[in-house]
Structure 1
């Protein structure tokens, strides 16, 4: 598994959204690294992490079997990375799909999670229509690749109206990140998310410090869902970021970093 690491201190593991990679955290990471040790991995099949779970894309064996898609597989990858880095526990964060994986880690090994950061995500499983749409996207990615159409179809929902209208450099950055993702990884991730379980019970059982961050203009997991998410966590706090959509760390890195730094300072 490929990862980006910087800073020192309390380890903060940040799991990226779909369909981008760990680079989505770059702007926020440099604003946090003077306070914490930030570790941002590429989830299996995306960015520089190969689909077979090997340590680097260049060492991936094209003939190696690929595990059945599932967020539990991604959680196991994260736990293996923590073992490799000799980290018994971390503050664990995730945006969108990364939040689903963070919840899967919490289900598998709650003792490894010292604090939980959930960004523009939700605990409920997909309904039938949402699952069917994910499977259609997976099939098209395998058939047609991902360049062009995937970004075009997803950008209006991933980015808030303010970002789309006033931050062309962010729109271009997100488009480039989406276009760079391997079609097989996109398809695998969509199938993994389609089959994920409801995680409300997992959140209700976690009594550690927890922060929920949501973009005020997020249409995929809107603020009302974020309020429900924070309420499900015994020690949950909520921060709403104005002028941002579903990718707050990319759209408003200063506001995101300020919220996280404040929370970490109070809960250390």
Structure 2
């Protein structure tokens, strides 16, 4: 499993959204690594992590850990990758955060090993499973990615919903970055992730039984995860705080990294 690690202090593991990779955290990391040990893995099959856990090339400051591929795409396998990475880094407990799909994986980690999660950050995500129509759409995207690759259509289809209005109007460099990240994803990883998300269970009960501190973040311009979804998700957890990130959509940590880093940093500072 490919990952990037920087900074020193309480460990903070951040799981990226779909269909991008750990590079979405670059600017937020720069603002957090002065106070925290930030670890950002590429999830299975995306970025520079392979589907089978085999080594991938990378700069010296980027290291890998992972487990073998399973036959059936499942976010439980992605969660096992994260737990294997924590073992590799000798981290018994971490503050765990995830954006969108990364939030789904974080909930799966919480389901499998709640004792490893000292604090939970859920950004622009939701606990419920896909409905039938969304599941069909995911499987259709998976098949097209395998058939055609992802260049020329995945970014065009996904970015309008992923980025907020302010980003489209005022941040052309962020739009370019997001487009590049989407177009550089391996088609087989895109397909695997879509099938894994389509098969994910409802995570509401996992959150309901979680008694640790939690931070729920939502970009105020997010059209995929509504304010009601964020509010109801926070209400499931007895020790959750909810924060709205201004001028950002579904990829809020990429669109407004300063607001994301400030919210997470202040919350972690109170905890630690």
Same fold (TM over 0.5): yes
Report Cα offsets for 1:112-132 as digits up to 9, x if no partner. 000000000000000000000
Structure 1: distance between partners of 2:253 and 2:55: 26
Alpha-carbon contact 1:49-1:57 (below 8 Å) kept: no
1:27 aligns with 2:37: no
Q: 2:115 aligns with which of 105, 108, 111?
A: 111
* Match in the other structure for 2:193: 189
- SS for the counterpart of 1:114 is strand
Structure 2: distance between partners of 1:42 and 1:234: 30
Alpha-carbon contact 1:2-1:42 (below 8 Å) kept: yes
Alpha-carbon contact 2:219-2:247 (below 8 Å) kept: yes
1:214 aligns with 2:212: no
* Match in the other structure for 1:61: none
Structure 1: distance between partners of 2:34 and 2:6: 9
Q: 1:202 aligns with which of 191, 203, 206?
A: 206
Structure 1: distance between partners of 2:251 and 2:190: 18
* Match in the other structure for 1:120: 124
Per-residue deviation at 1:56?
2.6
* Match in the other structure for 1:68: 72
Q: 1:253 aligns with which of 237, 241, 257?
A: 257
Report Cα offsets for 1:166-185 as digits up to 9, x if no partner. 11000000000000000000
Q: Any gaps of 5 or more consecutive residues in structure 1?
A: 59-63
Structure 2: distance between partners of 1:65 and 1:120: 27
- SS for the counterpart of 2:217 is strand
Report Cα offsets for 1:178-222 as digits up to 9, x if no partner. 000000000000000000000101101111110001001101112
Q: CA RMSD in A?
A: 1.2
Alpha-carbon contact 2:70-2:77 (below 8 Å) kept: no
* Match in the other structure for 1:49: 49
What is the TM-score normalised by the length of structure 1? 0.96
* Match in the other structure for 1:229: 233
Q: 1:133 aligns with which of 130, 137, 143?
A: 137
1:244 aligns with 2:243: no
- SS for the counterpart of 1:126 is coil
Structure 1: distance between partners of 2:268 and 2:93: 15
Structure 2: distance between partners of 1:202 and 1:246: 23
- SS for the counterpart of 1:218 is coil
Structure 2: distance between partners of 1:67 and 1:85: 26
- SS for the counterpart of 1:171 is helix
Per-residue deviation at 1:57?
5.9
Alpha-carbon contact 2:53-2:69 (below 8 Å) kept: no
Per-residue deviation at 1:242?
1.6
Per-residue deviation at 1:265?
1.1
Residue-pair matches, total: 263
- SS for the counterpart of 2:210 is coil
1:101 aligns with 2:105: yes
